Structure 1
Amino acid sequence: MTHTAPVRPEGVDPARPAIRLDAAAIHVAVLDDHVVVRYGVEILVRQSPALRWSGSAATSGELFQLLSGGPCHVLVLDYELSPTEIDGWSLVKILRARFPHVRILVYTSHVEASAELLMRQAGAHGFVSKSGGLSELLHVIELVGAGELYFSAALSAMSTPAPGFAQLTPRETEVLRCCLQGMNMTDIARKFVRSVKTVSSQKRTAYRKLGIDSDYELLKLYAAPGTKRP
């Protein structure tokens, strides 16, 4: 389901100290496998007096090197890279663990509510659509850099996930995680080097264990209060 609710700031993140825009420039980096996007973000950052350019990466490996070599306050990240790359949820989790000082802004063309919820619960600090234009992106970078969280209004009504996922196998869990990120069966099969038939079977088995029949029900279950995150 495509999420079209207007995006708004959600408040100051209590886990991170605010970065004052009038006290220090915000260093920004970008991870995206499209060179046009990387170039566009670089131009945007270089034109803003409040921001400083830290660099760009096309792969997670390049990103880890970049973040290890210089300052970065805000990382603009497209969570869906090539099929051979680590999945977005795992990437955000790794980044939060290895680079806790970096605030993560997901910048993507996939704006499903399930993907936004998943990225937030992985530890991202903001989520914005590529369809919103560069002026919106600039505004959100500055907000996230100043210590705020930025998610859709609809997402603020959702809580953390609920029981049931613990009974799934690791492979069933990773298939559902990719479904929540908006990936189709062909993409998931290619990513994990399995057949589409195998991946579809794992999804059906997981749905049966969870007592659900659709992707919409999966999102509702994942967002239900008290759910234990897979």
Structure 2
Amino acid sequence: MFSPQRPLPRANVIVADDHPVVALGVCQMLEGVEHIHLVAAAVTISELFEALAQVHCDVLICDYSFEDDSEPDGTLLLKRIRRLYPDLKIILLTGHDDVVIMQMAVEIGVSGFLSKSSRDFSSLPAVITRVLQGEKYLDPETSKVLVQHMMTNNLTSQSLTTAQLTARELEVLRMFSRGMSVTDIAQHTNRSVKTISTQKKKAMLKLGVMNDIELLKAFNQMYATLQ
């Protein structure tokens, strides 16, 4: 069990997860922890930004995917948070255990990465402590996936994004793979249909596919090889 090297001031923490049961469970886990002050819990992206605007937050424990939310999630959400609150420490709480998301989250500036399936999940208070002390945290299961991938494929952390897809292209493909149309994605991300269509076409070109069926197959294979 990790023990802090020096006493820490009480930290304001916000929890954001689109599954109310998960949000409640995390909140209960943090209750009674001496140096943690839980100031808000949100189950939608709009609730999250309302909370961030109303109270000071030191650490945000945030899900990666808000499946039915009308606002952009994933890396677009993380970049928005980082842009508006550059000093906020983010612990990404996610069920997505793949190195593409991991790499992009690290590049955006996430301080911690904790998988919902990790055996380390119960040590979240200690993870918060480590992050507050300036450490970066990657849970053991996720770290193992990353190391195995790099050793198997002889890759460095700079070359994990297959076909050099941009963050926006990956987001478009992720939403498209969930059954969203170009129009749906445009509405969800507050961008034009033309922009989304262009990003999708660029991704298709990079992946060397000619139609939607091939695109979905290539996208699924790409993620399968990265796990």
SS at match of 2:15: strand
Alignment equivalent of 1:103, drawn from 69, 89, 104: 89
Aligned to 1:67: 52
For 2:136, the aligned partner's letter is L
Report whether the alignment pairs 1:204 with 2:212: no
Give the match for residue 80 of structure 2. Answer: 94
Q: Compared with structure 1, are the counterparts of its residues 57 and 20 closer, same or farther at alpha carbon in structure 2 (3 Å cutoff)?
A: farther
In structure 2, runs of 5+ residues without a counterpart are 151-155, 188-192, 210-216
Q: Give the structure with the higher percent helix.
A: 2
Q: Distance in 2 between matches of 1:175 and 1:50?
A: 40
Q: Say if 1:187 and 1:141 are closer, same or farther in 2 by CA, change over 3 A.
A: farther
C-alpha distance in structure 2 between counterparts of 1:187 and 1:87, whole Å: 16
- What is the Cα deviation at residue 124 of structure 1? 1.1
Which residue of structure 2 aligns with residue 136 of structure 1? 123
Structure 2 counterpart of 1:120: 106
Q: Could you tell me how far apart the structure 2 residues matched to 1:215 and 1:90 are?
A: 19
**What is the aligned partner in structure 1 of residue 17 from structure 2?**
32
Partner of 2:214: none
Aligned-CA RMSD value? 3.6
Q: Does 1:153 align with 2:147?
A: no
Task: Tell whether the 8 Å contact from 2:15 to 2:60 is kept in structure 1 after alignment.
Answer: yes
C-alpha contact (below 8 Å) 2:17/2:44 kept by paired residues: yes
> More relative contact order in 1 or in 2 (CA 8 Å, sep 6+)?
1
DSSP 3-state at the match of 1:77 = strand
Identity %: 26
Report the Cα offset of residue 82 of structure 1. 2.7
Partner SS for 1:148? coil
Per-residue CA deviations over 1:26-67 (Å, capped at 9, x if unaligned) read 221111111111111111111211211111112222211211
**2:170 corresponds to:** 176
Instruction: Find the aligned partners of 2:220 and 2:208 in 1 and give their Cα distance.
Output: 14
- Take 2:126 and 2:111, find their aligned partners in 1: how far apart are those partners? 14
| 1:78 counterpart = 2:78 | no
Distance 2:5 2:186 in 1: 43
Alpha-carbon distance change, 69 to 191 in structure 1, aligned in 2, over 3 angstroms = same
> Partners in 1 of 2:108 and 2:66 — Cα distance?
17
- Taking structure 2 as the reference length, the TM-score comes to 0.68
State the alpha-carbon separation in 1 of the partners of residues 124 and 35 from structure 2: 14
Runs of 4+ in 1 over 6 A off after TM superposition: none
- Give the deviation of 1:112 after TM superposition: 1.3
Instruction: Give the 3 Å change call, closer, same or farther, for CA 89–188 of structure 1 in structure 2.
Output: farther
Matched residue SS, 1:75: strand
